[in-house]
Amino acid sequence: MARQARVISIDALLTMQAALARFERDLRAALDDLEMEVRRALQWIQQDAPQYWQQEVRQGWERVAEARVQLQQAMTMRRVAEHDPSCVEEKKRWKKPDAACNWPRKRPKLYATGGTASRRR
């Protein structure tokens, strides 16, 4: 069953046409902005993020090495009469960056697949 519009004013149609034209212009601008944001996000995922995570891993392992040296120094200095010192604080300072290093090491693998998945449409 077809419906018919009862148009009694040409001016109303012209006003509606102008409003639709403004809506289309605003919508296109919003879509262009959204496309630019998506491109920036993809660029970060495909190019910048892997470098960022590699740097994080490198810095983390440097912290692990530093904490390990501090632990070794503390154990050496506190060793008395063949008794191994506990060095609880130094061990905590070593375990924290060691555990943190295992977390970002997995991230570059996720970003490596992001490029192919993001291009599917």
What is the residue range of 40's domain?
10-119
pLDDT tens column, 68-89: 888 888 777 766 655 666 677 7
Residue 26 lies in a domain: yes
In a domain, 56, yes or no: yes
Q: Would residue 65 count as lying in a domain?
A: yes
Predicted local distance difference test score (pLDDT) of residue 108: 55
Q: How many domains does the chain have?
A: 1
Residue 16 has pLDDT above 90, yes or no: yes
Cβ-Cβ contacts under 8 Å for 101 (sequence gap 6 or more): 57, 60, 61, 63, 64
In this structure, is residue 1 part of a structural domain?
Answer: no
- Between CA 59 and CA 111 the distance in angstroms is 19
pTM, two decimal places: 0.46
Q: Residue 71: inside a domain, yes or no? A: yes
